[in-house]
Chain A
């Protein structure tokens, strides 16, 4: 799982074009939104949904289903792990 979260981190920073962020500065349990973490905004949350579809085949017809799963890289990874159609090589 740790390897997968590291891979997801790189994908996320790339998808969101966060060129000012050093990957090693982002912890697996840091908040993705709000003051203390990456400080992502609502448009960024849409890009995460696009990433889930593009990279993992997870289609989100109802964004509410992601409530509670975008809190950190770890919760997002656990959501992907539980929902993706194709197994991820960890």
Chain B
């Protein structure tokens, strides 16, 4: 089972509504949400946890929010019975939950970038292939989110040199690890990839209005 909920964060969020949404969580989680310095990040984290809560409530999973912790490798965990991952970029926040698989997700808002100046983070064949495409910016984000989703599923995070990850059409591999990839076409302004530790099963995707 793979459940994916996503939402668009409203441009203006009143402090009353923010407080109301924040109050859905116990104090320990509230503290984790508001400790960020950037308002945009605070809103992203709040909405990410709200999506996680909606999935947990809708599927009637038994979860104690007091168990929300971050593992030594940086990946958040809330129960040994389920795996989840959250990503936020621009106005979009997205959450994936699975009971039986390890999962990672990455969303990036497409911004205008000078792809060759990002060449340092890619291996040579990847850069050549991307620059040969008509829309090299889109191809860069596609490759980046594939790799990022895989390292987030694994939990290795920023410690993994991204240029050392090999990506083919449906999987990302490094050091004997293999992660299966799927692109989620949700919004034309964003690129989203899901990574799973087994060949992809059906996933349910829902847009949620939170505010």
Contact = CB atoms under 8 A, between A and B. Distances in A.
Given A33-B158, A64-B161, A20 B121 contact: no
Chain B interface size, as a band, is: 20 to 34
Chain A interface size, as a band, is: 20 to 34
Contacts of A41: 89
B32 A35 contact: yes
Interface stretch (A1-9, A42-50, A72-80, A81-89): A42-50
Nearest to B161: A64
A26 interface: yes
B38 A63 contact: no
A53 B163 CA distance: 19
Nearest to B39: A20
Given A42-B158, A64-B161, A53 B37 contact: no
A43 B162 CA distance: 11
A60 B41 CA distance: 28
B163 A63 contact: yes
Main secondary structure of the interface of A (DSSP, over half): loop
B158 A49 contact: no
A36 B44 CA distance: 15
Given A45-B158, A64-B161, A39 B118 contact: no
Contacts of A25: 37
Given A43-B108, A45-B158, A20 B120 contact: no
A36 B33 CA distance: 10
B152 to A, nearest CB: 9
Contacts of A26: 37
Contact of A63 (B32, B37, B121, B144): B121
A80 to B, nearest CB: 16
B37 A39 contact: yes
Contact of B37 (A30, A60, A64): A30
Given A42-B144, A49-B121, A63-B162, 16 more contacts: A18-B38, A20-B40, A21-B37, A21-B38, A36-B36, A39-B38, A39-B41, A42-B158, A43-B89, A50-B114, A50-B117, A53-B117, A61-B120, A63-B120, A63-B161, A63-B163
Q: Which 7 A-B pairs have the closest CB atoms?
A: A39-B41, A20-B39, A39-B36, A20-B40, A50-B117, A60-B120, A46-B118
Interface of B: 32, 35-41, 89, 108, 114, 117-118, 120-121, 144, 148, 158-159, 161-163
